[in-house]
Amino acid sequence: MSLTVATWNINSVRLRIANVERFLKKRKPDVLCLQETKCPDEFFPHDAFETLGYRHRLVQGMKSYNGVAILSKIPFTATNIHHRCGKEDCRHIEAALDTGGDPVLLDNLYIPAGGDIPDPKVNDKFAHKLDFYREMARWYNEHRPQPRARRGLRRIAVGDFNVAPLEHDVWNHKQLLKIVSHTPVEVDLFSRLMAALDWIDVPRRFVPDGEKLYSWWSYRNNDWRKSNRGRRLDHILATPALSGAIRSHHIDVDLRDWELASDHVPVLATFDV
């Protein structure tokens, strides 16, 4: 079967639910993972997703901050809510998708942004971000199967990772080396997470590392298209067992022009599972 997964930092699901509905009607992904929903669970707009056929939902939200959700047309065989770094701040949920045969495990992650100062000694937010990456790398290493079984581990991780790891994932590599999201320490920790399960960077399977690729443009840019000072903060990763199943990817850049747009745009990938 074909499986299309989309990830989108929506920056308030209730404020932008009309945009979410418009996107789902246009692209029709099988699964949508949202970050920064900023919505307590009791106020999540379930009806909108139910109407569009997303009857399987896992949400974890809080007032005003963070929050993640997995909205799916495909049933779940299991779900988990993970608390990271001793906090219950709604940043990691997991679902097993019933695609026939072995399930596809799906992680939806909203990794801390890290504030403005790239120094963990003076910036608790940056320290939290680094600790979150370290914990995720350890956790994936703990779930790393033996080599023979590794060929069968079908896992996808998506979300706003708040790191642009490659030189051409930012508009100016040299200028951003001291800016949170592209500092060497963050890129190194991103690489450790990638190595933990030998993750495949799905969009870069189709777009060479030497080409610019972005999913986020700051609200501070009055004309974001003209300045094009973007970063690739939103990621879709897949384990090697899914390497031959990867069929396509798409970054929905035009959504940045929509009314009440998020500063992030959706990233999609399609797999034959």
Domain ranges of the chain: 2-272
DSSP, residue by residue, the chain: -EEEEEEEE-S-TTTTHHHHHHHHHHH--SEEEEE-----GGG--HHHHHHTT--EEEEE--SSS--EEEEESSPEEEEEEE--TT--SS-EEEEEE--SSSPEEEEEEE-----S---TTT-HHHHHHHHHHHHHHHHHHHTPPPHHHHTT--EEEEEE-----SGGGBS-HHHHTTSTTS-HHHHHHHHHHHHHTT-EEHHHHHS-TTS---SEE-TT-TTHHHH--EE--EEEEE-GGGGGGEEEEEE-GGGGGSTT--SB--EEEEEE-
Task: Determine the topology of domain 2-272 in CATH.
Answer: Deoxyribonuclease I; Chain A (3.60.10)
Question: For 6-65, what is each residue's pLDDT tens digit?
Answer: 999 999 999 999 999 999 999 999 999 999 999 999 999 999 999 999 999 999 999 999
- Global confidence as pTM: 0.97
Report the pLDDT value the prediction gives residue 148, as an integer from 0 to 100: 53
Report the pLDDT value the prediction gives residue 151, as an integer from 0 to 100: 63
Question: For 128-161, what is each residue's pLDDT tens digit?
Answer: 999 999 999 999 999 887 665 556 899 999 999 9
